[in-house]
Amino acid sequence: MPLINIHLIEGKDSAYLQRLGDTVHQTLIDTWNIPFDDRFHIIHEHKPSHFQIDKKMWGVNRTDDTILLHIISSPRTTEMKLNFYKKLSENLKDTLKIKGDDIFINIVTSQVEDWSFANGEAQLMA
């Protein structure tokens, strides 16, 4: 169960945001084998002055189309994470013409006992 926070500069239309979420979700299905109905995305749109992502650090050339994905997930292997990074970059280039320099991803790992989806239960521990 990854929880996906997608951050970007405001102004994209709802069709763009839908394709963005669909692409992220399908890439997670393909690389992490998550179930189709395991979709928990929150899209955060920011004013340009509130989205202060360095455009040159790490040898990249970011634009105002940069997206930042902050993913909170139960443990994943290094191989799964690396496959996700690569495949998402390819998929976003294909679906939304987002260049690789504009894709910033951070994955934070939590344990199964750190999740409660409802009713005061830790469903992932079952």
Strand order in the sheet with 103-109: 41-46, 3-9, 67-73, 103-109
Q: How far is the first Cα of the chain from the last one, in angstroms, to the nearest whole number?
A: 14
User: CA 57 to CA 124: how far, in whole Å?
Assistant: 37
2 catalytic? Reply is yes
Residue from 2, 35, 48, 75 carrying the catalytic annotation: 2
- Count of beta carbons in the 10 Å neighbourhood of residue 94: 10
User: CA 87 to CA 91: how far, in whole Å?
Assistant: 6
Q: Which residues are catalytic?
A: 2
